Structure 1
Amino acid sequence: MKFSPLETPLRTIMTPGPVEVDPRVLRAMCTPILGQFDPAFTTIMNEVMEMLRQLFRTSNRWAYPVDGTSRAGIEALLCSIIEQGDKVLIPIYGRFGYLLTEICERYGAQVYTIECEWGNVFAPEEVIDEMKRVQPKIVAIVHGETSTGCMQPLEEIGRACREMDILLVVDAVATIGGTEVNADEWHFDGVIGGTQKCISVPSGMALITYNDRIEKVVLSRKKVERGIQTDSDRSILAAGKTIISNYFDLSQLQDYWGPRRLNHHTEATSMVYALREGLRIILEEGLTERFDRHRLHERALIAGIEAMGLSLFGEKKWKLPTVTCVNIPDGVDGESVRHMLLHEFGIEIASSFGPLHGKIWRIGTMGYSCRKENILKVLTSLEAVLVYHGVHVNKGEGVQEALKVYIEQSKAIGAGR
């Protein structure tokens, strides 16, 4: 069988991930391969670690990528600090809280959960009261839930965790690089990000940072070394529980990314190139300026959607700046709308999960996808598709309201000069 050369259609990707990749990142991926211990490459590794510290706003010694999707970073952090029977508290307000729960249970944790209705977040005191009741070793929580478009306030929870000597592990996959994530100021012990969302790098690496409180636990863990196991390790294995992953063992990854450069795995060099360029672009733009850009395009999108006559899902005060959830009008086949957007206009938006499946669309405004031309194209195309589906919309008003946001912003910038 003869296969033709690879050709993929051009898309405007406006999902909560993956998103469009900056062309400069794609060019960086064409850079010639270096050996993973070549001094030229280890210099790049060191630069990536320093850039990640700036991205996470941390002075942590450890900030590096884990090969694999965002989930790989979540698993690496959790499996490296959870021991059999450890208490872990997980507040769940969307799909990815359940993912944290499953991972913790697989590594033998005694998991406690609290839940709130999708579309809401927790009042910090709710979580803190449960921490006092459970007395967990770890609190694991999602910062931005792409399944609901909500963002959990964490500063007060982080302060309480530090006061109570509880480790706080935060899934910041949907927020890092798109809105404020202040690891040190908010007392995060471990944080996980991903490349495929606001970083605008292809999926395939998880970004992690963790402090000396996490490292202390990592280095104290009992490990199976040279085939010799302690009685405690044998009993855990007999119970069918994993002691620790080999691939995701942070103590081994530290030896690889640290000055010892011990061989752990063969590094995905092209992905490191891509990550370095993606991080360079972010820092060149400036974190504050980047967050302001995401807020601007979010504001324009919301203005357009509401002017069109559609409504948003969830409370605005808890809204995740990088994901906008739109209620599907009554009687409309949401998947038919998505299909037409993709095949007639080349635009991809997302559906949702669980109790929200078929009820909302999710539009991502992340990283390189978060651009004026994309916002205007989505609004124009969505209006056309909805009209085709017989939905009453305020024709032409959506794009006009979005344009007003952009024009007002331009005037404000001009007045400030």
Structure 2
Amino acid sequence: MGNDFFGQIDPPQRLLMGPGPVNVHPRVLRAMAADMLGQFDPEMTAYMNETMALYRQVFMTDNRWTFLVDGTARAGIEAALVSLVEPGSKILIVRAGRFGLLLSEIAERIGAEICTLDLPWGEVASLEQIEEALRTHRPQVLACIHGDTSTTMAQPLDGVGALCRTYDVLSYVDATATLGGMPVKTDAWGIDVISAGLQKCMGGPPGSAPITISDRAAAHIMARRHVEAGIRSGDTDNGRGARIGSNYFDLAMIMEYWSERRLNHHTEATTMLYGAREAARVMLEEGLEARFARHKAGSTAMVAGLRALDLTVFGNDAHRMANVTGVWIPEGVDGEQVRQRMREDFGIEIGTAFGPLAGKIWRIGVMGYNARKQAVLQTLGALEACLAAEGYAARRGAGVDAALATCQHGLWQ
């Protein structure tokens, strides 16, 4: 069969306009082609320090402990939860979509006592609901999703950190789908731990999970490490079993690796660090406010175009993410057939849905490198053509015209 039986990788070109991953920024791809360095090479550790400094700005924080967890965004989620939550301790999880349910699954594997604030898919929790749940359950940790791509809704977080401090609760937020596209105000919101990923608004590939940790949360994580050491040495009779149930995702160990001590924990994913560093550089050169405005303008144009095609947008405008839009599949239209036509005829991918929304909505992302006027217009034009091919009476040209009109009103330059 020969060594080239499968041939070299040569994927088809796609415009990825689903809920993620999205097309990687060319500068990030170029950065990832740079040569390897040893993990303790002074140039490499300098890049690590620079990456921490860059992501403090991205997370809008002064947190000393701001770094990368090697792995996809879910690696950051698991590292946060396994390091914050002890077996038998109580965690309160806000669940209004698929990824809130994921937090529950991870917490269950840890052996936590799980309490939930459950909402219908497409709704968000009010501060009053969160406070009532905190008062009722008295958890040690509150966990929620900032932007849940399964519902395309963004959970308001202003005031959540202050509530958690009032009730002496540590707070964790998954910002995978929003970091780089919506403000993630770590310090202003008072959130203790936030983790994310590169593959959405940051315009990078999956494989690295930026994370930021408050001094308050870091002290809790390090205290667990010290109790564990005491248990092993016989210096304490604390029987809570504080061992962090993972070596790879033990944030205390990873923090020591990223500290000045450089205690070896794993071999840093050099290429991913290069990509994460460049993704942050691209964002900061653009400017935070300009970046957020670009994503908001793209979402506004997409929503205007979808509505001009007489499609119904999913959810409440007040809480819709600025980078992912859900749209109801018209009655009598085969949603998967439309997605297939878009992929095969136009090279464009849009997303399907999960859970109670499966087969009912499409999810269209306007994120990172793809939050561009041309990408939005191409997607709307292709969707119109594919809907028409499936017998839907779309008003030809209306979607593109409506999206362009948002540019004329100054929403997109």
Same fold (TM > 0.5)? yes
CA deviation profile, 1:293-334 (whole Å, cap 9, x unmatched): 001111111111101110101111110111000000011111
- Counterpart residue identity of residue 360, structure 2: K
Distance 1:182 1:358 in 2: 34
- Counterpart residue identity of residue 359, structure 1: K
- Counterpart residue identity of residue 364, structure 1: G
Distance 2:12 2:410 in 1: 33
Q: Which runs of 5+ in 2 are unaligned?
A: none
Distance 2:280 2:73 in 1: 16
Q: How far does residue 156 in structure 1 lie from its aligned partner after superposition?
A: 2.0
CA deviation profile, 1:75-103 (whole Å, cap 9, x unmatched): 11111121121111011010000111111
Give the alignment's Cα RMSD to 1 decimal. 1.8
| 1:206 and 2:209 aligned | yes
Distance change (3 Å), C-alpha of 1:232 and 1:97: farther
Distance 1:229 1:104 in 2: 28
CA deviation profile, 1:341-399 (whole Å, cap 9, x unmatched): 10111000000100000000000111001111110000000000000000111111111
Distance 1:84 1:226 in 2: 17
| 1:4 and 2:12 aligned | no
Q: How far does residue 45 in structure 1 lie from its aligned partner after superposition?
A: 0.4
- CA contact 1:150–1:314 (8 Å) conserved in 2: yes
| 1:91 and 2:94 aligned | yes
| 1:134 and 2:137 aligned | yes
Q: How far does residue 408 in structure 1 lie from its aligned partner after superposition?
A: 2.4
| 1:389 and 2:390 aligned | yes
Distance 2:240 2:279 in 1: 45
SS across alignment from 2:205: coil
CA deviation profile, 1:144-197 (whole Å, cap 9, x unmatched): 010000011111222211222211100111111101110000010000110111
Written as runs of structure 1 = structure 2, the 5 A alignment for 1:336-355 is: 336-355=337-356
Q: Percent identity?
A: 47
2:21 counterpart (18, 38, 42)? 18
- CA contact 1:233–1:243 (8 Å) conserved in 2: no
2:70 aligned residue: 67
CA deviation profile, 1:101-157 (whole Å, cap 9, x unmatched): 111111121110121111111122011111011111110000101000001111122
2:371 aligned residue: 370
1:29 counterpart (29, 32, 39)? 32
Distance 1:93 1:124 in 2: 15
| 1:172 and 2:175 aligned | yes
Distance change (3 Å), C-alpha of 1:76 and 1:180: same
Distance 1:235 1:82 in 2: 12
Q: How far does residue 229 in structure 1 lie from its aligned partner after superposition?
A: 6.6
Written as runs of structure 1 = structure 2, the 5 A alignment for 1:112-151 is: 112-151=115-154
- Counterpart residue identity of residue 100, structure 2: G
Written as runs of structure 1 = structure 2, the 5 A alignment for 1:240-255 is: 243-255=244-256
1:270 aligned residue: 271
Written as runs of structure 1 = structure 2, the 5 A alignment for 1:155-166 is: 155-166=158-169
Structure 1 runs of 4+ with >6 Å offset: 231-235
Distance change (3 Å), C-alpha of 1:234 and 1:126: closer
| 1:315 and 2:316 aligned | yes
| 1:399 and 2:400 aligned | yes
CA deviation profile, 1:46-72 (whole Å, cap 9, x unmatched): 000000100001111100010011111
Q: How far does residue 224 in structure 1 lie from its aligned partner after superposition?
A: 5.3
- CA contact 1:312–1:325 (8 Å) conserved in 2: yes
CA deviation profile, 1:242-297 (whole Å, cap 9, x unmatched): 74210011111011111001111111101111111110000000000000000111
TM-score computed with the length of structure 1 as normaliser: 0.94
Q: How far does residue 226 in structure 1 lie from its aligned partner after superposition?
A: 11
Distance change (3 Å), C-alpha of 1:220 and 1:385: same
- CA contact 1:224–1:233 (8 Å) conserved in 2: no
2:194 aligned residue: 191
Distance 1:41 1:401 in 2: 48
